[in-house]
Structure 1
Amino acid sequence: MGLEKILAISGKPGLYEMNAQTRGGFIATSIVDGKKISVNLRHNVSVLSEIAIYTYTEEVPLGEVLQKMKEKEDGGEAIDHKSSKAQLEDYFAEVLPEYDVDRVYASDIKKIIQWYNLLIKNGFTDFSKESAAENKTKDEEE
Structure 2
Amino acid sequence: MSLDKILSIGGKPGLFKLLTQTRAGFVAESLLDGKKITVGFKNNVSVLSEIAIYTLDAEIPLREVFLKIQEKENGEKTPVSHKDDKLKLEEYFFEILPNYDEDRVYASDIKKVIQWYNMLQEQGISDFEAKEEVKEEAKEEIKEEEKN
Provide the TM-score with structure 1 as the length reference.
0.91
Q: 2: CA distance between counterparts of 1:129 and 1:83?
A: 30
Which contiguous aligned blocks of 4+ residues in structure 1 show a shift greater than 4 angstroms? none
Shift in Å, 1:75:
0.7
Cα distance change on mapping 1:98 and 1:84 into 2, 3 Å: same
Q: 2: CA distance between counterparts of 1:8 and 1:103?
A: 20
Aligned positions of 1:1-142 closer than 5 A: 1-78=1-78, 79-130=80-131, 134=135
Aligned-pair identity (%): 57
Cα distance change on mapping 1:104 and 1:129 into 2, 3 Å: same
Count of residue correspondences:
136
Shift in Å, 1:130:
2.7
Which has more radius of gyration? 2
Q: Is the 8 A contact 1:7 1:18 kept in 2?
A: yes
Unaligned 5+ segments in structure 1 are 138-142
Q: What's the Cα RMSD here?
A: 1.7
Shift in Å, 1:11:
0.3
Q: Is the 8 A contact 1:2 1:132 kept in 2?
A: no
Q: 1: CA distance between counterparts of 2:60 and 2:68?
A: 11
Q: Is the 8 A contact 1:20 1:27 kept in 2?
A: yes
Shift in Å, 1:133:
6.3
Q: 1: CA distance between counterparts of 2:43 and 2:75?
A: 32
Provide the TM-score with structure 2 as the length reference.
0.88
Amino acid at match of 1:80: S
